[in-house]
Amino acid sequence: MNLKKIAAEIQAWFDDRFGLSAIFKFLREKEVPQHRHSIWYYTGSTILLLFGIQVITGFMLVFYYKPTLEEANKSIARIMTEAPLGWIIRSVHFWSASFMIAIVFIHLFSIWIAKSYRKPREATWMSGVFLLLISLVFGFTGYLLPWDDLSLSATKVGTDIPRSIPVVGIWITKLLRGGEDVTGDTLTRFFGFHVCILPVFIFILLAFHIYFIQKQGMSLPLAFENKGKKVRSLPFWPNFVYREMIVWLVLVGILVTVAIFLPPSLDKAADLMAPAPEGIKPEWYFLFLFQVLKIFPAKILFINGDTVAVLMIAVAFVLFFFLPFIDNKPTERKGKIITVVAYVVIVFAVAMTVWSLL
Amino acid sequence: MKLKHSLFSRRQFLNGLLGGWLGALAASFLYPVVKFIFPPYREPDKVILPFSDYEDMGPNSVRNFPWGSKPGLIKKEDDGAYLAFVAVCTHLDCNVVYLAEQKKFFCACHEGWYDENGLNIGGPPPRPLRQLIIEREGENIIVKREGVE
């Protein structure tokens, strides 16, 4: 019996039980359209790569990290100084998170502007909005874990924002904080969100998100769809995969370089009773929100300014979530206005971010 | 089957009963879950501090004390009187600092300002700082919420 035959038999054994050949057949036949906008197709897989790096470096960090009031800051210091190569693992985790969020935003706006969410891909968009939300909460909960002055103040502010929502707000704040105030319980709870609850949800949502994309194939730009032009395409395996790998390798190179030369800092352990340090800033992807809250007046027509701000954010989020249904006539005037809105949102967010850094 | 003067059929009645029972069952499982994730919190009614710790404060200066899990500040006025504040910004809960030279409380998170009596005078804070009642009792200072004996 030669090796080839054994391999074929093993494959047949698995195929009888799990029907894997259907998946392999699908991947062999999958094609990716090629046109001048196909560069945006790479954003999805780079997010997956960075997410994978987060999972692996996260597994590593959790071997040393201790989520308690007394130990959190010390255990990070230990990771940075004692654990072999610990500093670089933490630095990669830190930077990969930022890279991932950045590419998530690029992914999001490329889809918004190309209107790839149009029928029948509404559910792909909606699962994506939840993935965005979870990614941001990952970032927010991870920010507290080093337990230094900056992260404590950022968490106090961030968990206090929902309080301005009428009726349910106070309960959201209490749920997040594990009590009335940010304390050691908040730290333990954030750790639970970060390494246990959020991962479960992100994996489930990712599975749906990726399944929908495979089911429906890559979306084509509107222009092609209308003209009914035949679009050139590339086999997914191996041509497109190799191209993706080039992008991945370049990205990993940049990521590790940045991680080596700019490792994240660690301040002294947070003191719950100390005043907020000067110049506190959240992570860069919350800066636009930070700036909006800062310039919002305390009172607008006898209503608490923050309540207005939070309600506006909530309404914007709902509109954003249902965008595929709002933008139901993509080629008409309404569709063009919605594309302009995407650019306006980008300009607004960038302007607010720059302002907050001044 | 539905009787002549009945509002609903026997099937509907039984379904309602079953559904109601299932709902009650679900609620009885959910209740302890919800109860568990919201820990009880009681703000202290009062804290008792040794006066000797605050006796040597100069005029127009502040010193910390723990008010539950929040920081509190005791401030000595120019005339020697004492005031007590919950040193937490009314905007988004950051801890504030007292800047003695400027005679103002300041929150660094979103640049909120309060005057020396805790009144919000600039930036986003919507309300004055929360003030507590401060009393001297023998060797101790008692700081308490309003309405507490």
Both tokens of residue B1?
């089957």
Q: Answer whether B119 touches A (CB < 8 Å).
A: no
Rounded to the nearest 10 degrees, the angle between the axes of helix A241-261 and helix A41-62 is 50
Note the pLDDT of residue A1: 64
For residue B114, pLDDT over 70 is answered with yes
The Cα–Cα gap between A163 and A137 comes to 17
pLDDT band, very low/low/confident/very high, at A262 (cuts 50, 70, 90): very high
For B109, which DSSP code?
Answer: T
Quick one: which of A52, A181, A185, A233 has its CA closest to B44? A181
For residue A220, pLDDT over 90 is answered with no
The Cα–Cα gap between A262 and A92 comes to 10
pLDDT band, very low/low/confident/very high, at A122 (cuts 50, 70, 90): very high
Residue A85 — left, alpha, or beta (φ > 0 → left; ψ -120 to 50 → alpha)?
left
| Residue located via tokens 């086999």 | A235
Q: Break chain A into its structural domains and give their ranges.
A: 32-264
pLDDT band, very low/low/confident/very high, at B122 (cuts 50, 70, 90): confident
The Cα–Cα gap between A186 and A179 comes to 8
Average model confidence (pLDDT) across chain B = 88
pLDDT band, very low/low/confident/very high, at A179 (cuts 50, 70, 90): confident
- Residue A252: in which H helix or E strand, if any? helix A241-261
Check A273 against B95: CB less than 8 A apart.
yes
DSSP reduced 3-state for B147: coil
pLDDT band, very low/low/confident/very high, at B35 (cuts 50, 70, 90): confident
Check A156 against B94: CB less than 8 A apart.
yes
For residue A62, pLDDT over 70 is answered with yes
pLDDT band, very low/low/confident/very high, at A307 (cuts 50, 70, 90): confident
- Residue B106: in which H helix or E strand, if any? strand B104-107
Quick one: which of A357, A174, A346, A351 has its CA closest to A282? A357
> A32-264: which CATH architecture?
Up-down Bundle (1.20)
Peptide linkage before A221 cis (omega within 30 of 0):
no
| Residue located via tokens 């799990």 | A18
Both tokens of residue A214?
């495979």
Q: Looking at CA atoms only, how far is residue B34 from chain A in angstroms?
A: 9
Note the pLDDT of residue A108: 95
Q: Looking at CA atoms only, how far is residue A87 from chain B in angstroms?
A: 29
The Cα–Cα gap between A322 and B100 comes to 52
For A284, which DSSP code?
Answer: G
pLDDT band, very low/low/confident/very high, at A126 (cuts 50, 70, 90): very high
For residue B97, pLDDT over 80 is answered with yes
CA of A284: how far to CAs of A95, A350, B53, in Å? 12, 11, 42
Which of B33, B47, B93 to mutate: most A Cβ within 10 Å?
B93
Position A334, amino acid: K
DSSP reduced 3-state for B65: strand
The Cα–Cα gap between A155 and A294 comes to 16
Check B108 against A273: CB less than 8 A apart.
no
Q: Which of A175, A273, A280 sits opposite B109 (nearest CB)?
A: A280
Average model confidence (pLDDT) across chain A = 90
For residue B34, pLDDT over 90 is answered with no
Strand partners, A235: A31
Q: Under a CB-based contact definition with an 8 Å cutoff, are residues B55 and B140 in contact?
A: no
Note the pLDDT of residue B77: 87
pLDDT band, very low/low/confident/very high, at A337 (cuts 50, 70, 90): very high
Strand partners, B62: B75
Quick one: which of A284, A294, A292 has its CA closest to A94? A284
Q: Which residues of A touch B (CB under 8 A)?
A: 153, 156-157, 159-161, 171, 174-175, 178-183, 185, 272-280, 290, 293-294, 296-299, 304-306
Q: Which of B37, B38, B69 sits opposite A181 (nearest CB)?
A: B69
Residue A108: count of CB within 10 angstroms of its CB: 18
For A239, which DSSP code?
Answer: I
Quick one: which of A104, A12, A92 has its CA closest to A262? A92
Both tokens of residue A241?
């995969």
For residue A226, pLDDT over 70 is answered with no
When pLDDT is averaged across residues A225-247 and rounded to a whole number, the result is 85
Q: What is the pLDDT of residues B1-23, one digit of tens each?
A: 667 787 888 888 899 999 999 99
- Counting one residue from A and one from B, how many pairs have CB atoms under 8 Å apart? 92
More confident residue, A29 or B39: A29
Quick one: which of A335, A314, A339, A345 has its CA closest to A111? A339
Q: What is the pLDDT of residues B47-82, one digit of tens each?
A: 899 988 888 888 888 998 988 888 999 998 888 888
| SS3 letters across B22-60 | HHHHHHHHHHHHHHHHCCCCCCCCEEEEECHHHHCCCCC
Note the pLDDT of residue A225: 72
Q: Looking at CA atoms only, how far is residue B101 from chain A in angstroms?
A: 17
Both tokens of residue A186?
């908040």
Note the pLDDT of residue A38: 87
Peptide linkage before A238 cis (omega within 30 of 0):
yes
Q: Would you say the C-alpha torsion A113, A116, A118, A121 has a positive or negative sign?
A: negative
Quick one: which of B110, A64, A282 has its CA closest to A73? A64
Nearest chain A residue to B124, by CA: A298
Both tokens of residue A62?
């959790």
For residue A44, pLDDT over 90 is answered with yes
Check A298 against B126: CB less than 8 A apart.
yes
For residue A298, pLDDT over 80 is answered with no
The Cα–Cα gap between A50 and B22 comes to 44
Note the pLDDT of residue A302: 74
DSSP reduced 3-state for B119: coil
Q: Answer whether B29 touches A (CB < 8 Å).
A: no
The Cα–Cα gap between A85 and A92 comes to 11
Both tokens of residue A183?
């304390």
Residue A9: count of CB within 10 angstroms of its CB: 11
pLDDT band, very low/low/confident/very high, at A203 (cuts 50, 70, 90): very high
CA of A162: how far to CAs of A201, B40, B103, in Å? 21, 19, 32
DSSP string of A165-225, one letter each residue: STTTHHHHHHHHHTSSS--HHHHHHHHHIIIIIHHHHHHHHHHHHHHHHHHH-PPPPHHHH
